[in-house]
Amino acid sequence: MHALVLQHDGYADPAAGAATPALAELIALRRITRPQPGADQLLVRVTLSPVNPSDLLYVAGTYGQPRVRGTPAGFEGTGIVVAAGADASPALIGKRVSFLATASGAWAEYALTDPMACVPVGNALRDEDAAALLVNPLTALAMAELAVEAGTRAVVLTAATSQLGRMLIPLLRERGLTPIAVVRRTEAAAALRALGAAEVLVGSAPDYAARLAAALNAHAPRLLLDAVGDQASANLFLAMPTHSRWVAYGILSATGLCLPDVRAFVFAGKRIEGFWLSRWLRAASPAVRAAAVDAVQQRFVDGHWRTQVGARVPLADVLEQLPTALQRPGKVLIAP
């Protein structure tokens, strides 16, 4: 089979700095042996696989798990189950599924997964939505519940124009919370307000600091859901009220940040924590996981959510087309 395989092992060398190497230095299109399912694994013939920020961090060696040279990249996708191991139920064979590629990557013609990371999807669900059913939607749902548990009236979210941000805003509104969106460009403001954002703050605007101060004063948000992790996020968090929580779930910035002192954590009761979907899935009970997957699938079927597709790129053309495709708004989907 053909697959986009990793060119390096482990993590990137910190001495190389923040610059990301060219894509062709990180992955390569190769013809490799089609994997065979282990005892408790399923083999999926991949139809579509999205390119998520976590995928790009992983191939660059800056994600939270090490690369394995020669193995396919890609964390999730959709396709048809074509084989099952001896201890896996054969009931899914022939079924269309959304899956997390737990045993071999999804940027390939075939991928391995395990039954707990594989979800049958209904005929009403588009392939484009089935391909991106798990990583972003489950993260959005889990963080919306986290916001409710936090007991805050309002939530600040960065990178609000992302697929995940657009999912999260109406989820927060439905739970009676006030979303405050932080974006880089003014063009997205109207669309985010239509989704339910009470405030849309443009980080590059001359009046950003004044508008941020006014929003914090008006809504008193005590939860920051941050996908960026840069100095602007740190400054925003330090300006938030006492007992605020900063939940970092993304690493879009390569520049890092500096916290000038710890007084906000000692005297104002503030805290920083991370959210990683893989950890949440391991901690959640089977019933909670099943309910979450059913909920996100239904939101797509009902039309509350829709994957905004920026480009659909054939597997063979990824190295040539992906850099340009990633500059467009919307999700890039790889089609083996």
pLDDT at 18 over 80: no
Q: 331 falls in which pLDDT band (50, 70, 90)?
A: very high
Residue 296 lies in a domain: no
- Specify if 284 maps to a domain: no
Cα gap 233→90, rounded to integer Å: 47
Mean of all residue pLDDT scores within the chain? 93
pLDDT band at 185, cuts 50/70/90?
confident
In eight-state DSSP terms, residue 12 is P
Q: Residue 231 in 3-state DSSP?
A: helix
Question: Does residue 267 share a domain with residue 179?
Answer: yes
Q: Model confidence over 211-259: pLDDT tens digits?
A: 999 999 999 999 999 999 999 999 999 999 999 999 999 888 878 788 8
- Answer yes or no: do 149 and 126 share one domain: no
CATH of the domain at 69: 3.90.180.10
- Count of other CB atoms within 10 angstroms of residue 214: 13
Count of the separate structural domains present in the chain: 2
Q: Quick one: 326 and 260 in the same domain?
A: no
Q: How far is CA 231 from CA 22, 252, 263, 311, in A?
A: 26, 12, 17, 31
> And the tokens for 276?
């990683």
Please give the distance of CA 315 from its chain centroid, rounded to a whole number.
Answer: 21
Residues 127 and 6 in one domain: yes
Answer with the one of 278, 296, 316 that is the final residue of a domain.
278
Are 103 and 127 contained in the same domain? yes
What is the average per-residue pLDDT within 143-165? 95
Residue 238 belongs to some domain of the structure:
yes
Identify the pLDDT of residue 20: 59
Task: Name the band, by pLDDT with cuts 50, 70 and 90, for residue 19.
Answer: low
Is 294 part of a structural domain of the chain? no
Residue 17 has pLDDT above 60, yes or no: no
* Distance between CA atoms of residues 43 and 82, nearest Å: 6
Q: What is the pLDDT of residue 248?
A: 96
Q: How confident is the model at residue 273 (pLDDT cuts 50, 70, 90)?
A: very high
- Both 74 and 202 in a single domain? no
CATH number of the domain encompassing residue 236: 3.40.50.720
In a domain, 198, yes or no: yes
Residue 330 lies inside a defined structural domain of this protein: yes
The answer to whether residues 125 and 59 belong to one domain is: yes
pLDDT at residue 89, as a whole number: 87
Q: Place 15 in a pLDDT band, splitting at 50, 70 and 90.
A: low
Do 28 and 110 belong to one domain? yes
Give the pLDDT confidence score for residue 160 in this predicted structure.
95
What pLDDT is stored for residue 16 in this prediction?
Answer: 54
Assess whether 122 and 152 both reside in one domain: no
Q: Which pLDDT tens digit goes with each residue over 72-131?
A: 999 999 999 999 999 998 999 999 999 999 999 999 999 999 998 999 999 999 999 999
- Asked whether residue 241 is domain-assigned, the answer is yes
Percent residues over pLDDT 90 in the chain: 84
If asked whether residues 165 and 128 sit together in one domain, one would say no
Q: Could you tell me if 326 and 250 lie in one domain? A: no
Quick check: 67 pLDDT over 80? yes
The parent domain of residue 262 ranges over 138-278
Regarding whether 96 and 201 lie in a shared domain, the answer is: no
* Helix runs in the chain, H state only: 23-26, 53-60, 127-131, 135-150, 163-174, 189-195, 208-219, 231-239, 263-266, 277-283, 286-302, 318-325
* 285, part of any domain: no
